[in-house]
Amino acid sequence: MKRKGTLVSTVKMPRVKAAQAGRQGPAKRRLAEHFAAGEIITDMNKKEWKLGSPIGQGGFGCIYLADMNSSKSVGNDAPCVVKVEPSDNGPLFTELKFYQRAAKPEQIQKWIRTHKLKYLGVPKYWGSGLHDKNGKSYRFMIIDRFGSDLQKIYEANAKRLSRKTVLQLSLRILDILEYIHEHEYVHGDIKASNLLLSYKNPDQVVYLVDYGLAYRYCPEGTHKEYKEDPKRCHDGTVEFTSIDAHNGVAPSRRGDLEILGYCMIQWLSGHLPWEDNLKDPNYVRDSKIRYRENIASLMDKCFPEKNKPDEIAKYMETVKLLDYVEKPLYQKLRDILLQGLKAIGSKDDGKLDLTVVENGSLKAKPVAKFEVYPGDLIVLSAGYISLRSPLSMYVVLCGLSVLLRYFAYTLQH
């Protein structure tokens, strides 16, 4: 008689390494105290907002669900979030200046209309102000609410995204970068953990967030000069940051595009050649310089198979030719990525093909059904199912049937 069982697999969220470690910055900052749900804050335009539950905390302070003030409590379906930090901290102040100058809803809508886009992945700024609590002053900012971040999805998918997904994502990121560059800013910290899916439409819409390192590279139309500052060396996330940033140079448009190139390579291949030495930023910088001089060797290192994504190499070759103050040809870069989609028999259909559900959270992996024959030993432990000889296991996973016969086999879910 056969013994039957069912394994229900859940997605585990691995610890995120340096890609999510974030920026260089002051070692100590005063943290915001936690506010109770229902707290009312008033922005500079005298509009009242009600706080809901906290949903995150970072080096700057806390993030709360929020909605316009009413007699109702703020539910889990709240459309906005509020970022709060002590008023004497810096990151939110920097981010707030970007939003006030470049992310008003009417600015974004005008750009979408004039450039004939379906959407633009820049969060909308809804308000900001100062709030006093127990004799202390706190700065706050209200923006759109989002779902899961791309880093979680990348990790949950065994550190791989499909070629189509990477190209689709990168086309949307180029739209975002062109917009913020035209509004005198560069981002400086593009990475998967700073790319958030839409809360309502996660399979098609992605947003670039966290403008704490945003830099106004071209105030009043005058580009900053190239100048190396040892105090600013390696700003950003070491894994992805530009060679300019490694050298202490203020970020520019070419730096954002270089960072996107490194992201594309990692999302496709699962690694970057220098990621095992992230504690040595000089090593990382020197590796990037060496590979910039020989893009083909970078592609060989990351994609040893014959079927290399030629569009990524063309993109990197194009970006490396940009001068520090040069305005990129964004459409040329988009055309390169569109050629990549065509090469795999696809097109820019706007679908990201990510493993998410409607609220932006991750789907559980499919159920694995199995039958174990007499004499087999099943050992259940944290995160593992161990099956030892004699074994004849019939697995039905994702609609595929596979007959596994091994002396010793361990299946991690």
Q: Mapped to the 3 state alphabet, what secondary structure does the chain carry?
A: CCEEEEECCCCCCCCCCHHHHCCCCCCCCCCCCCCCCCCEEECCCCCEEEEEEEEEECCCCEEEEEEECCCCCCCCCCCEEEEEEECCCCHHHHHHHHHHHHCCHHHHHHHHHHCCCCCCCCCCEEEEEEEEECCEEEEEEEEECEEEEHHHHHHHCCCCCCHHHHHHHHHHHHHHHHHHHHCCEECCCCCHHHEEEECCCCCCCEEECCCCCCEECCHHHCCCCCCECHHHCCCCCCCCCCHHHHCCECCCHHHHHHHHHHHHHHHHHCCCCCHHHCCCHHHHHHHHHHHHHCHHHHHHHHCCCCCCCHHHHHHHHHHHCCCCCCCCCHHHHHHHHHHHHHHCCCCCCCCCCCCECCCCCECCCCCEEEEECCCCEEEEECCEEEEECCCCEEEEECCEEEEECCCEEEEEC
Q: Which residues does 212 contact at the CB level (< 8 Å), separation at least 6? A: 23, 60, 91, 92, 94, 95, 189
Catalytic status, residue 189: yes
Which residue among the candidates 144, 149, 175, 189 is catalytic per the annotation?
189
Is 104 within any annotated ligand binding site? no
* Residue in 122, 75, 57, 91 with CA at minimum distance from that of residue 65: 75
Q: How far apart are CA 55 and CA 81, in angstroms?
A: 9
Question: Per the annotation, where are the binding residues for ATP?
Answer: 83
Enumerate the active-site residues. 189
Question: Per the annotation, where are the binding residues?
Answer: 83
